[in-house]
């Protein structure tokens, strides 16, 4: 009886490992390189830049606050900002759909979206 239980445990563990591997593959495949960087202030889209073009844009969010958004080699990042914590500047560049850079003090979000203008990650 014990032997049988052990065998069942092995089967269950193997099944879980297979399911985990499948989920990992699906997640990997669904996070594709994005097409646009969308800039949102207070949850409202204010600008949209193609990741295929290198740009440097000053994003003013009122009251003198400014974030400098740079897109280079298909990657978007905040080059400089005058927010108090500078967390947005410290964040790594983003290029995959669903990735975001958030500047909380300025209520700014830079989000990567896919080619059809929708968030491809489910």
| Interacting residues with Zn ion (CB under 5 A) | 81, 83, 88, 103
41 φ, ψ (degrees, to nearest 5): -115, 125
Q: CB 87 → Zn ion: shortest distance, Å?
A: 6
Q: Between 87 and 120, name the residue whose CB sits nearer to Zn ion.
A: 87
Q: CB 72 → Zn ion: shortest distance, Å?
A: 19
Q: CB 96 → Zn ion: shortest distance, Å?
A: 21
Residue 99's contacts (CB-CB under 8 Å, 6 or more residues apart) are: 34, 111, 112
Q: Greatest CA separation found in the chain?
A: 74
Q: CB 84 → Zn ion: shortest distance, Å?
A: 8
Q: Between 91 and 121, name the residue whose CB sits nearer to Zn ion.
A: 91
Are the C-beta atoms of 76 and 95 separated by less than 8 Å? yes
| HSE value, Cβ hemisphere, 13 Å, CA-based, for 62 | 7
**How far apart are alpha carbons 46 and 56 in whole angstroms?**
15
Q: Between 35 and 37, name the residue whose CB sits nearer to Zn ion.
A: 37
Q: Between 79 and 119, name the residue whose CB sits nearer to Zn ion.
A: 79
């Amino acid at each position: 009886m014990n032997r049988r239980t052990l065998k069942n445990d092995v089967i269950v563990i193997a099944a879980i490992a297979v399911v985990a591997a499948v989920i990992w593959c699906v997640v990997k495949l669904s996070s594709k390189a994005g097409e646009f960087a969308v800039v949102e202030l207070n949850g409202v889209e204010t600008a949209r830049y193609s990741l295929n073009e290198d740009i440097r844009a000053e994003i003013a969010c009122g009251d003198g606050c400014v974030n400098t958004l740079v897109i280079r080699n298909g990657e978007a990042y905040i080059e400089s900002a005058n927010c108090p914590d500078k967390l947005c500047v410290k964040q790594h560049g983003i290029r995959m759909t669903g990735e975001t850079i958030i500047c909380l003090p300025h209520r700014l979000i830079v989000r990567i979206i896919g080619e059809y203008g929708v968030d491809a990650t489910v």
